[in-house]
Amino acid sequence: MFGFRVGSIELTVVSDGTMPLPAEALFPKGKRNEWESAIPRDANGQFVAGLNSLLVRTGNQTIVVDTGASNKAGAPRRAPGELLDNLKSLGVEPGDVDLVILTHGHWDHYGWNTREVNG
């Protein structure tokens, strides 16, 4: 996690964890020799994608931009699901969030929009 300020607004990048993906999935139509040297990969040849959200505190509002992938059953891929714990370490509980903004509708951006409570 790291933070910065823009005027009076406090912004913090908050991790939902990382997820290995086949490097080829990033450029399905690209030629391997064009992207291979630019994509960092782990020992298994997988690209390790960071799953990050942005916490925005304006002074009177708490906003989360993208809610990560979650670790809920039924997700297209199981992610570590660290976002809620990382927000809690910053003093933010789910009920404290006034607004959620999604940059786009992929599963790894809306995973924690909902959660099961007591079941």
Average pLDDT value for residue range 13-21: 90
Q: What is the pLDDT of residues 84-94, one digit of tens each?
A: 999 999 999 99
Supply the pLDDT for residue 59: 92
Q: What percent of the chain has pLDDT over 70?
A: 93
pLDDT at 119 over 60: no
Average pLDDT value for residue range 53-82: 86
Backbone angles phi, psi at 83, to 5 degrees: -60, -50
pLDDT at 51 over 70: yes
Distance, CA of 64 to CA of 44 (rounded, Å)? 33
| Residues with Cβ within 8 Å of residue 78, at least 6 apart in sequence | 71
Supply the pLDDT for residue 98: 98
Average pLDDT value for residue range 50-67: 96
Q: How confident is the model at residue 56 (pLDDT cuts 50, 70, 90)?
A: very high
pLDDT at 110 over 60: yes
All domains of the chain, ordered by start, with CATH?
A: 2-110 (3.60.15.10)
Which residues sit opposite 12 in a β-bridge?
Answer: 3, 55
Side-chain half-sphere CA neighbours of 118 within 13 A: 0
